[in-house]
Structure 1
Amino acid sequence: MNVARIPRLVARSSHQIARHYATEVPRRPIGGFRGGLFGFILGVTLTGAVGYYYLLDEYHAASSLLLNSVEELQASTNRVRDYAKKIEGVEKQLQKLRDQTVTKDQLADLRTEAKKLYDSLNIEHLELKTHVWGLEQDVHKLSRPAQ
């Protein structure tokens, strides 16, 4: 009985010895839940960081575009304000010119007044001529009897 058992023990012990000298790395149990949770947290953190960086980049780009837009709007507003001031100045000058100019009716009235004045001066001139002629006639009459 003892003899039959010995080869089995030797066979077992050589098999167990071979196992101890094998190149297999002994597995350390990490735990599936712990590894999955760590991977999830790492992935969420990296995704959040990349998303935050992208969001900041987009925010800066949008802010610079908005600032450029505001500056262009301010420049165009200033140009419009300058144009409005120029238009107001031109309107004031136009109103001054309108106040200084005469209308057709005023010009027609002025012409009729000038014609009346010319006619009255002409009539007075003719009256003076007639008066002078009358004086000359009187002087002539007075000078004849003296001869």
Structure 2
Amino acid sequence: MAARLPAAFRAAMRPATTLPKPSISQEARRSFQTSRTLLADATVTTTRRPVGAFRGSLFGFLAGSVIAGGALYYYVIDEYKVSNELLTEDIYALQSAVQRIEGYVKRLEEESKSKK
């Protein structure tokens, strides 16, 4: 059947792959080869997996909470010791004042008995 068609139709029905290829010199062709050093560099490099935002923020929050809690604990303990020392000093001062007053009262009682 193709032999019965005129030559113009046969040329139009030819597939596009039968078109003549442009001549490219051997030097102009692109080479897809790589050297051994480039291949060796490609296999040596490893990529680190980045830390995810969720894991990083969770770790940061926990670390900050622990540090702040520890600092607060030591601050509260230090303040407790200072206030406890002040209270103890006040108690000793009150005790000595009561003993002095007790001594004055005993002396006054002795003086009042001796005058009678």
2:110 to 89, 101, 123: 89
Secondary structure of the residue aligned to 1:85 is helix
- The answer to which structure, 1 or 2, has the higher relative contact order (CA under 8 A, 6+ apart) is 2
**Alignment CA distance shift 1:32-1:19 (3 Å):** farther
Output the CA distance in 2 between the equivalents of 1:91 and 1:47.
65
Q: Deviations over 1:113-141 (max 9, x none)?
A: xxxxxxxxxxxxxxxxxxxxxxxxxxxxx
Matches of 1:62 and 1:45, distance apart in 2 = 26
5+ residue gaps, structure 1, are: 97-147
**Residues 45-80 of structure 1: CA deviation (Å, up to 9, x unaligned):** 011111101111111111011111101110111111
TM superposition score normalised by structure 1: 0.50
Counterpart residue number, 2:16: none
Distance 1:77 1:45 in 2: 47
Correspondence for 1:36 among 37, 57, 67: 57
Deviation at 1:92, TM superposition (A): 2.1
Which whole-Å CA distance do the structure 2 matches of 1:33 and 1:19 have between them? Answer: 33
Aligned residues: 89
- Of 38, 51, 66, which aligns to 1:45? 66
TM-score by length of 2: 0.62
Q: Name which one, 1 or 2, has greater alpha-carbon Rg.
A: 1
| 1:1-147 correspondence runs (5 A) | 7=30, 10=32, 17=39, 20=42, 26-94=47-115, 96=116
3-state SS of 1:93 partner = helix
Unaligned runs of 5+ in 2: 1-20
Report how far residue 39 of structure 1 moved: 1.0
Aligned counterparts of 1:33 and 1:47: Cα–Cα separation in 2 = 21
User: Root-mean-square deviation (CA), in Å?
Assistant: 2.9
